[in-house]
Amino acid sequence: MFDLIKSNTRRSWILIAGFVIVVAAFGYLFGMLFGGGFIGLIIAIGIALVMSWSAYAGGDKVVLAVSRAKLVTPIDEPRLHNLIEGLAIAAGIPKPKVYVVEDPSPNAFATGRDPAHASIAVTRGLLEKMNRMELEGVVAHELAHVANRDTRVLMITATLVGVVVLIADWTLRSFFWGFGGGRRGARDRDGAAIFVLVGLVAAVLMPLFATLMQAAVSRRREALADLTGVKYTRYPPGLIAALEKLKSDETIVQSASRATASLWIESPLQREKGLFGKLNHLFDTHPPLDERIRILQEL
């Protein structure tokens, strides 16, 4: 298990480094296309830094607001607070703030830039459909995300995807309005056409590539959180039973979106079926539930 944890952590940071390279390369290409040279690279890195800092400083508040999560006290939800407090002690981190999302679909997520500024939110459906051991398994999984700083990693990757999409949108709009001629005067017609074609292909494919990288980072962190969570509870069957219930429940979280999907313990979005569903799985932010259950059963 410890070897898998180290492997997942190492690969996650390699993927994030790849993310930064993609943003930088796309920014440089954007500058070359429009005659700015390294200015495009500088602008891309600047935007990435500003957006990443914004996500780092206040992204958790945005996520909680978008998810319609409401802060609850120990008087409101004594069982939930008791579980979180005990597991936070086992994890060696401060007790996070506790939120409830009034939604019948069972699910949960954690957010916050570090353990000192963390929050855990669970849906009403999770509280009603899980017994104590199952709920403990889910809470331990979310606390693992906090302890492993996954919430910070996922916010950074989501922000970098946003930067790539933003630059791609600028590129396509500029071509549409005819502002891509910065370097064409210095080249012959065929060379300019090839250069522009490369820019257009990159503008279309880069966002897809960035989204695939984001999904890969998220899937790695989910597998790591499962393993770390059972370390806190010392009872894998609790999380296994919870994941089996999540698998059988096909309801969706109404306040969830693709922007926040990677934070939840299980994808809160509609499960697509058929050929389109199989293709859509490439962009899934979570490993298949069957795979997660199988790994836990082998512990």
- Angle CA(30)–CA(35)–CA(37) in degrees, nearest 5? 65
* pLDDT score of 4 more than 60: no
- SS3 of residue 98 by DSSP: strand
CA distances in angstroms from 240 to 81, 91, 227, 284, 286, listed in the order given: 22, 20, 11, 20, 15
Q: Where are the domains of the chain?
A: 2-297
DSSP state of 264: B
- SS3 of residue 119 by DSSP: strand
Quick one: pLDDT at residue 188? 47
Quick one: pLDDT at residue 85? 96
Give the residue with greater pLDDT, 188 vs 144.
144
- SS3 of residue 95 by DSSP: coil
CA distances in angstroms from 256 to 1, 11, 157, listed in the order given: 31, 27, 18
Order the strands of the 119-123 sheet from edge to edge: 69-71, 97-101, 119-123, 108-111
Contacts for 65 with CB less than 8 Å, ≥ 6 apart? none
Query: Is 128 assigned a catalytic role?
Result: no
Quick one: pLDDT at residue 196? 61
179-229 residue pLDDT tens: 555 444 444 444 455 556 666 676 677 667 767 776 777 777 888 899 999
268/258 Cα distance (integer angstroms): 9
**Where do we find the tokens 């957006």?**
51
| Set 102, 128, 134, 142: catalytic member | 142
pTM confidence score: 0.76
Do residues 107 and 266 lie in contact, with contact meaning Cβ atoms separated by under 8 Å?
Answer: yes
57/50 Cα distance (integer angstroms): 11
Instruction: Compute the mean pLDDT over every residue in the chain, rounded to the nearest whole number.
Output: 79
Do residues 108 and 136 lie in contact, with contact meaning Cβ atoms separated by under 8 Å?
Answer: no
pLDDT band at 153; cut points 50, 70, 90: confident
84-129 residue pLDDT tens: 999 999 999 999 999 999 999 999 999 988 889 999 999 999 999 9
Residue 80, classified by CB atoms within 10 Å of its CB into exposed (0-12), middle (13-18) or buried (19+), is buried
Do residues 154 and 261 lie in contact, with contact meaning Cβ atoms separated by under 8 Å?
Answer: no
209/215 Cα distance (integer angstroms): 10
pLDDT band at 261; cut points 50, 70, 90: confident
